[in-house]
Amino acid sequence: MEKKSKSNRRDFFKKSALGVLGTITIPAFMGSHSNPIKNQGFRVALLKAVPERWNMAANMDLFAEHVHIAHLAGAQLFITCECFLDGYNCSTLPDRDEFYEKQTIAPDHEYITRVREIAGKYGMHLVFGYSKRDGEEKQIRNAALFVDGNGDKIGEFYKLDCPRTDHDRIFTQGEELPVFETRFGRLGILICRDRRLRENYVTLKEKDAQGVLIPSYGFWGEKNDAILTDFAVEFGLWILFSHPNQSLIIAPDGTIQARYEGNVPDILLYDVVF
């Protein structure tokens, strides 16, 4: 895919968000994006963008810019990839102490405050991936913060499957698999590798989840499509997969409702009806 300059991308995004239908960014069946949908479920925006490693400030700005674009398009829920803020730096096998000091943030950090302010400003639910400092023992969590349209914290999910044999060993694994009650319905979150384990879907279905939000930075493509399609059908779940190179939405009957791939930062918009 041809790369665009930053200024040209911004013009393209503005046109797309205001309702000029793109060939991929905004599927033609969605219609005008000037206003939020009413009584028809909710409009989700999946951010497809490769964050810059070791540059949290730039990634925060990229996030804010695209939430604004999503707002213009009537989105009510916005989802980033896994560890969007730091660019999934753990995959570079950094020194753990350096990573902790430079690429993790505490719950009271200014960036978390900014995420909540952005949510409140646009009245939008946000799922934001970052590396979290947790506790006095310098634990690091692969976290997905879930904030509502008032800027209040709905909850937080920590990646469960963090093997000691690869780059995820830098993280302390999560222990809980909650389902969050929202005005859209009951939503669960899985992060990347968690999506491959059947028992996670069993747990979410037992808790009456209607959809699963999956911030990821791992593999994507045909293998991923097949795995998620099978789980969507088996458990009757909507699956919303957000990756730096691919945005993917799968219905409970296994049909891929929307897919967007490429190397230019953008969002995929889709109207989900439970």
- What are the pLDDT digits (tens) for 25-71? 443 334 323 333 343 589 999 999 999 988 999 999 999 999 999 99
What residue ranges define each of the domains in the chain, with the CATH number in brackets?
6-17+39-272 (3.60.110.10)
Could you identify the residue written with the tokens 């925006």?
45
Q: Which residues pair with 141 in a beta bridge?
A: 132
Averaged pLDDT of the chain: 86
Three-state DSSP state, 187 = strand
**CA–CA gap between residue 232 and residue 15 (Å, rounded):** 33
**CA–CA gap between residue 214 and residue 191 (Å, rounded):** 5
Q: What angle do CA 106, 127, 60 make, to 5 degrees?
A: 60
Give the closest residue to 264 by CA, choosing from 8, 18, 26, 60: 8
Three-state DSSP state, 23 = coil
| Residues 6+ away with beta carbon under 8 Å from 199 | none
pLDDT for 40: 56
With bands split at pLDDT 50, 70 and 90, how would you rate the model's confidence at 156?
very high
pLDDT for 21: 28
Q: What is the pLDDT of residues 129-143, one digit of tens each?
A: 999 998 778 899 999
